Amino acid sequence: METSGVFAFPALERVITGTPAAEALSAEVERLGGTAAFILASRTLNRETSVVEDLRRALGQRTVGLDDSIPAHTPRDRVVAAANAARAAGTDIIVTIGGSTLADAGKMVKLCLANDVREFEDVDPLRRVIHADGREDMPEMVSPDMPSIHVPTTLSGAEFYHSAGCTNPRLNRKEGFTHAKLIPQCVILDPAVTRHTPEWLWLSTGVRAVDHAVEGLCSIRPHPISDGLAIHALRLLPGALKRCKAAPDDLDARFDCQIGMWASMMRSFAGVPFGASHGIGHVLGGTTNVPHGLTSCVLLPHVLRYNKTVNAGRQALVSEAMGDATIDAAEAVAALIESLDLPSSLRDVGVQREDFAVIARNAMHDHAVHANPRKINGPDDVLNILEMAW
């Protein structure tokens, strides 16, 4: 049967593999015409390893500034401060190295520079607003055309997406920003720079990549190209993550994880929406400060159980891709999480029952919740999933 839809090729121009990150970065900055690079980096990488210094050395005098102060979930005030510093430095290209926080920070800095954002409140008109009934308001904005390059050190995959999550600390809520030009022009996949990533972070963001593939494959609007890549990701990621668990210095296993992560993210270009694991997970991150990898660990099996009455056939594809067609997808995912010694309940990640009401209300303002395969009609349905995950 013919599939209706649009596969939109992204502004992402290159994904580089097999070249050391510093060497690839220098060449890409030159290719993109950058003369004044502003680096957004993980604080730990910058202060406790030589990774960031290696990148700076490769860029030489083309580096005009560095910010390693942006904490998890990309708070808006820190993004605006970084954008102001980049503007003052005369930046013409953004370089980010780290996980999803830094990838989103790079996107937000580009957005702020293009739209002359100088104060906290200047960000408000750029937000993508999701109403509680699922209606969306898409803002007008100046295109964020400044080039950027990302060197990921986790498996969250934010660098392969044209949206950014940015937490409003005054509302204790993560907000969304979308534009086709937010995505980096280049992603450099170098497993060597991931060796410093804490084990729990590497493995849990690996489960996040599994979540991307699972919710893409089980989506209400699947696409055959996305399906094929999601199945490949699910064949690759579980074994590669277990190999990383057994031998953290196995660069081949780390590279397989990166390829699986990349494959898991291609659904975004086909317009394939996520479901409630991502939607509620966004809120857990912005409202209760749970790292995104861990939100997938504690939510995905339960969301699969919640959805099974409406998409059992699609979930069977997940089980088959993960290596055992005889068990439920929820059980396959839960077994993987257990094998990696990762948390499996909301209690395990410090979420309190008294947080449930605000989580449920805020979740209704996330587009992925409204795209869940089993319709979520309101906060009570979210509360049902939270209780399953408790």
Q: Which of 171-175, 261-265, 293-297 has the lowest mean pLDDT?
A: 171-175
| Position 2 pLDDT exceeds 80 | no
Strand 148-152 and strand 186-189: the pairing is: parallel
| Position 385 pLDDT exceeds 90 | yes
Of the pLDDT bands very low, low, confident and very high (cuts 50, 70, 90), residue 3 is low
Residue 324 tokens read as 């055992």
Burial of 47 (0-12, 13-18, 19+ CB in 10 A): exposed
| Position 81 pLDDT exceeds 70 | yes
Residue, of 6 and 315, whose pLDDT is higher: 315
- Say if residues 9 and 117 touch (Cβ distance below 8 Å): no
User: In whole angstroms, what separates CA 172 from the centre of its chain?
Assistant: 19
Superfamily covering domain 198-389: Dehydroquinate synthase-like - alpha domain (1.20.1090.10)
Q: How far apart are CA 229 and CA 224, in angstroms?
A: 9
The residue count for the chain: 390
Q: Which residue has the tokens 């370089």?
A: 95
- Say if residues 288 and 359 touch (Cβ distance below 8 Å): yes
Q: Tell me: the pLDDT tens digits for 65-76?
A: 999 999 988 999
Convert 312-369 into a string of H (helix), E (strand) and C (coil): HHHHHHHHHHCCCCCCCHHHHHHHHHHHCCCCCCCHHHCCCHHHHHHHHHHHCCCHHH
Outline where the chain has alpha helix (H).
21-31, 43-48, 51-59, 76-88, 100-114, 199-217, 224-246, 251-264, 276-288, 292-321, 329-339, 356-363, 367-370, 379-389
CA distances for 283 relative to 94, 138, 304, 316, angstroms: 28, 20, 18, 28
Averaged pLDDT score across all residues of the chain: 95
Instruction: Specify the CATH number of the domain 14-192.
Output: 3.40.50.1970
Q: Which of 109-118, 261-270, 304-313 has the lowest mean pLDDT?
A: 261-270
Burial of 4 (0-12, 13-18, 19+ CB in 10 A): exposed
CA distances for 307 relative to 11, 61, 325, 378, angstroms: 33, 54, 18, 15
Residue 372 tokens read as 């869940």
Which residues face 94 on adjacent strands? Answer: 38, 148
Residue 122 tokens read as 């200047």
Q: What is the pLDDT of residue 267?
A: 85
Which residues face 103 on adjacent strands? Answer: none
Q: What is the pLDDT of residue 364?
A: 96
Which residues face 166 on adjacent strands? Answer: 175
Q: Which residue has the tokens 């979520």?
A: 376
What is the average per-residue pLDDT within 197-206? 97
Amino acid at 322: M
Which of 318, 258, 307 has the alpha carbon at shortest distance from 279?
307
Domain boundaries, the chain: 14-192, 198-389
Q: How far apart are CA 351 and CA 343, in angstroms?
A: 12
Q: What is the pLDDT of residue 9?
A: 82
| Whole-prediction pTM | 0.95
Q: Tell me: the pLDDT tens digits for 14-55?
A: 999 999 999 999 999 999 999 999 999 999 999 999 999 999
Of the pLDDT bands very low, low, confident and very high (cuts 50, 70, 90), residue 6 is confident
Q: What is the pLDDT of residue 77?
A: 97
Q: Which residues contact 79 (CB under 8 A, 6 or more apart)?
A: 70, 105, 108, 109, 112, 123, 166
Of the pLDDT bands very low, low, confident and very high (cuts 50, 70, 90), residue 285 is confident
